[in-house]
């Protein structure tokens, strides 16, 4: 049974790849072949059965403000998402569309309003991406990953309290909402045909010391500061009681681009800066004309999963290293940006790279048949990078070695290619910097 499934997957994928080749530059639609049975979800309800977020915001003022401008709110209208979705759609002749939309706009997909992602009939509830009433009417889950949520768009809002009384809706305690398994329904993405792990944030967490210590996603991503910061006393609703701890709804990750609002951009920067520690170790051979060696250690001290995590075939984190001599002359530099805003190609980038059917490296998730490489930093773990540098004969001692750890949501070249005229500048966030002198 398993074997047969695998075989079909291989077959389907090779058809998928030949379809990509055929479709050329056409805008998709009905030209190329459909690579596999289109993935569909039965329309189970109307989007209007959910309450709009702005109405919840009438009483849950702070929570609404926090969620607005977050990547959950922007999950459908996010330009980078739309750009990659459009390419995936074109290359699979639309067969993968609903798979992509089911997490980025669950209401849109399960009401049949999307795909496609444009049209006059798409309601605000769908456009709001992952919104209040969707999350708070999730009634259970069938497991982890690939949108394994069960839901019941009803008047009963499920949450962490067993004693909440609201004039607007019924309330119900839900243990699921207090656990990482809730987030894991969407924050593990497996290839819909061959099952390759495309995003594995939940699984990374599950295998980490954080899971062992009972520290959930919510403890870092639904608390005020960048790391675990509890308690956060306050009110969950303007007319509600004062409580010892309220969960925030900023859902801050690493997105400091214009797709998040300014407040979220600043918080993402703060979160990235709290994620890692950097040190330069064991410099040797610091002499004019000599061969200098040293090592840079990156420690993932703050993320409850690999660093980076999520869409790691697209994200890039890398070291920028410079050596200057006593006269301030730069004698070595790597990991800088060129004039087009792209990282110099020899730089080691910490990310996942997939292999496609033909054995080539690819960063397009739907082409993946296996993980080719993954050099990211494990939770509470360290990755070391060795450097060997030939120094100029006139280098003046002592030397200063500076290392920076940088993060970018996506390579500039990818954003330019996917979005054309709509492309935006992808900020480079300096996560942490280390400096020592040698010689
Ligand atoms: C008229 C005001 C009002 C509106 C509108 C409102 N709520 Fe509430 N809600 C409350 C109050 C009051 C509480 C109780 C707060 C407490 O006990 O701390 C509450 C509690 C909750 C809880 C906690 C339930 C639990 O048992 O843990 C959730 C979840 C919730 N609301 C979600 C929503 C969602 C989603 C919407 C929009 C569909 C919404 N609320 C609209 C007033 C409102
Ligand atoms: C991605 C899913 C998700 C979205 C979107 C979301 N919530 Fe929540 N919310 C949660 C989870 C999970 C908890 C409980 C966290 C815990 O107990 O660990 C929670 C807690 C709450 C609570 C209980 C009080 C608190 O904050 O501790 C209220 C009220 C609430 N949410 C209202 C809202 C409203 C209003 C919106 C939209 C503006 C919203 N939520 C959007 C997942 C979500
Ligand atoms: C219904 C699916 C769904 C659920 C459930 C869900 N998320 Fe998300 N989450 C998404 C999607 C989709 C995105 C990506 C949006 C984008 O960048 O376009 C996202 C993005 C994020 C980000 C990244 C923001 C950034 O700056 O890059 C964080 C952090 C996050 N979610 C945390 C959580 C946590 C914590 C939970 C559980 C309490 C949770 N999510 C539950 C779908 C979900
Ligand atoms: C100990 C705190 C901690 C825990 C626990 C934790 N995270 Fe994170 N998370 C971070 C930090 C710090 C970052 C920023 C660095 C990075 O991007 O990895 C982050 C980043 C993210 C991002 C954005 C990644 C990117 O680069 O696009 C997502 C999505 C996310 N976390 C989801 C989750 C989910 C889902 C869980 C639970 C399964 C979880 N996190 C558990 C601290 C935590
Ligand atoms: C099982 C749920 C799920 C499915 C299915 C899914 N995604 Fe996502 N997607 C997510 C989550 C969760 C994140 C946030 C991870 C992170 O921040 O790194 C995300 C992030 C993204 C981002 C990054 C957005 C940004 O602003 O940085 C893009 C682009 C994206 N997804 C495209 C796609 C495409 C294209 C498909 C279909 C081939 C797809 N996704 C299918 C859950 C899903």
78 close to ligand 5 (CB < 6 Angstrom): yes
Question: CB–CB of 298/375 below 8 Å?
Answer: no
Boundary residue ending a domain (202, 218, 251): 251
Q: How confident is the model at residue 227 (pLDDT cuts 50, 70, 90)?
A: confident
Q: Separation of 103 CA from ligand 1 center, angstroms?
A: 24
Confidence check: pLDDT of 19 > 70: no
Find out whether the peptide bond into 419 is cis, omega within 30 degrees of 0. no
Q: Is residue 259 part of a domain?
A: no
Query: Kindly report the CA angle at 99 between 95 and 101, in degrees rounded to 5?
Result: 110
Q: Report the nearest-CA residue for atom 3 of ligand 5.
A: 103
Q: Separation of 60 CA from ligand 1 center, angstroms?
A: 7
Query: Kindly report the CA angle at 93 between 87 and 97, in degrees rounded to 5?
Result: 65
Smallest-distance ligand from the CA of 215: 4
Report which of 278, 126, 103, 267 is spatially closest to residue 201, judged by C-alpha positions. Answer: 103
Q: Are residues 16 and 151 in the same domain?
A: yes
pLDDT, position 28? 36
Q: Are residues 243 and 297 in the same domain?
A: no
Domain of 174 in residue numbering reads as: 2-251
Q: Is residue 257 part of a domain?
A: no
217 close to ligand 4 (CB < 6 Angstrom): yes
Residues present in the chain in total? 439
Report the share of the chain in percent with pLDDT over 70. 93
Report which of 387, 375, 381 is spatially closest to residue 281, judged by C-alpha positions. Answer: 387
- The residue written with tokens 């709509």 in the block is 422
Report which of 267, 266, 273, 262 is spatially closest to residue 303, judged by C-alpha positions. Answer: 273
Report which of 374, 387, 196, 140 is spatially closest to residue 285, judged by C-alpha positions. Answer: 387
Smallest-distance ligand from the CA of 106: 3
Contacts of 172 (CB under 8 A, 6+ apart): 156, 157, 158, 159
Report the share of the chain in percent with pLDDT over 90. 87
Q: Based on the structure, what is the number of domains in the chain? A: 2
Q: Separation of 309 CA from ligand 3 center, angstroms?
A: 12
Q: How confident is the model at residue 32 (pLDDT cuts 50, 70, 90)?
A: low
Confidence check: pLDDT of 82 > 60: yes
Smallest-distance ligand from the CA of 41: 5
160 close to ligand 2 (CB < 6 Angstrom): yes
Q: Are residues 422 and 338 in the same domain?
A: yes
Which of 52, 160, 202, 223, when mutated, tests ligand 2's pocket best, judged by the most ligand atoms within 8 Å of its CB?
Answer: 160
239 close to ligand 1 (CB < 6 Angstrom): yes
User: Which tokens go with 320?
Assistant: 């920028």
Question: CB–CB of 140/185 below 8 Å?
Answer: no
pLDDT, position 4? 33
Question: CB–CB of 81/101 below 8 Å?
Answer: no
Question: Cβ < 6 Å from ligand 3: which residues?
Answer: 71-72, 74-75, 78, 81, 103-104, 106, 130, 182-183, 185-187, 217-218, 221, 251-255, 268
53 close to ligand 1 (CB < 6 Angstrom): no
127 close to ligand 4 (CB < 6 Angstrom): no
Q: How far is CA 116 from the centre of its chain?
A: 23
Confidence check: pLDDT of 405 > 50: yes
Q: Are residues 136 and 32 in the same domain?
A: yes
Q: Separation of 365 CA from ligand 5 center, angstroms?
A: 10
Q: Are residues 348 and 406 in the same domain?
A: yes
Q: Separation of 409 CA from ligand 4 center, angstroms?
A: 14
pLDDT, position 378? 98
| Kind of pairing between the strands at 170-173 and 156-159 | parallel
Boundary residue ending a domain (216, 251, 286): 251
Q: Are residues 247 and 279 in the same domain?
A: no
User: Which tokens go with 173?
Assistant: 């305690």
Contacts of 50 (CB under 8 A, 6+ apart): 107, 125, 131, 133, 134, 137, 153
Confidence check: pLDDT of 114 > 50: yes
Boundary residue ending a domain (251, 284, 301): 251
Mean pLDDT of 299-325: 97
Q: How confident is the model at residue 262 (pLDDT cuts 50, 70, 90)?
A: very high
pLDDT tens digits along 354-384 = 999 999 999 999 999 999 999 999 999 999 9
């Amino acid at each position: 049974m398993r074997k047969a499934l695998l075989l079909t997957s291989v077959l389907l994928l090779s058809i998928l790849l030949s379809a990509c080749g055929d479709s050329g530059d056409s805008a998709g639609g009905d030209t190329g072949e459909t690579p596999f049975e289109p993935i569909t979800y039965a329309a189970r309800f109307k989007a209007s059965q959910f309450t709009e977020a702005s109405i919840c915001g009438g009483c849950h003022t702070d929570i609404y403000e926090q969620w607005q401008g977050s990547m959950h709110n922007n999950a459908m209208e996010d330009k980078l998402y739309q750009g990659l979705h459009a390419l995936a759609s074109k290359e699979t002749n639309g067969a993968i569309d609903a798979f992509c939309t089911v997490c980025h706009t669950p209401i849109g997909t399960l009401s049949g309003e999307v795909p496609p992602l444009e049209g006059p009939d798409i309601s605000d509830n769908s456009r709001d991406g992952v919104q209040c009433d969707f999350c708070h009417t999730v009634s259970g889950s069938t497991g982890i990953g690939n949108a394994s949520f069960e839901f019941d768009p009803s008047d009963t809002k499920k949450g962490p309290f067993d004693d909440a009384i609201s004039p607007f809706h019924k309330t119900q305690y839900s243990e699921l909402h207090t656990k990482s398994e809730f987030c894991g329904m969407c924050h593990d993405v497996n290839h819909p045909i061959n099952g390759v792990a495309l995003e594995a944030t939940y699984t990374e967490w599950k295998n980490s010391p954080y899971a062992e210590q009972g520290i959930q996603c919510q403890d870092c991503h639904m608390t005020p500061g960048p790391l675990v910061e509890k308690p956060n006393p306050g009110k969950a609703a303007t007319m509600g009681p004062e409580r010892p701890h309220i969960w925030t709804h900023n859902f801050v990750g690493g997105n400091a681009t214009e797709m998040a609002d300014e407040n979220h951009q600043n918080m993402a920067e703060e979160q990235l800066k709290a994620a890692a520690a950097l040190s330069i170790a064991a410099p040797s051979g610091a002499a004019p004309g000599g061969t200098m060696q040293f090592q840079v250690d990156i420690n993932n001290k703050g993320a409850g999963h690999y660093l980076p995590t999520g869409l790691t075939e697209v994200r890039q984190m890398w070291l920028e290293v410079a050596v200057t001599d006593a006269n301030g002359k730069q004698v070595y530099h790597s990991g800088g940006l060129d004039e087009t805003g792209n990282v110099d190609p020899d730089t080691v980038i910490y990310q996942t790279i997939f292999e496609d059917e033909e054995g080539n490296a690819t960063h397009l998730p739907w082409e993946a048949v296996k993980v080719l490489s993954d050099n990211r930093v494990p939770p509470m773990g360290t990755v070391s990078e060795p450097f060997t540098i030939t120094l100029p004969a006139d280098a003046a001692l002592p030397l200063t070695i500076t290392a920076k750890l940088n993060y970018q949501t996506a390579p500039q070249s990818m954003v330019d290619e996917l979005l054309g005229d709509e492309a935006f500048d992808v900020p480079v966030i300096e996560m942490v910097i280390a400096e020592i002198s040698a010689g």
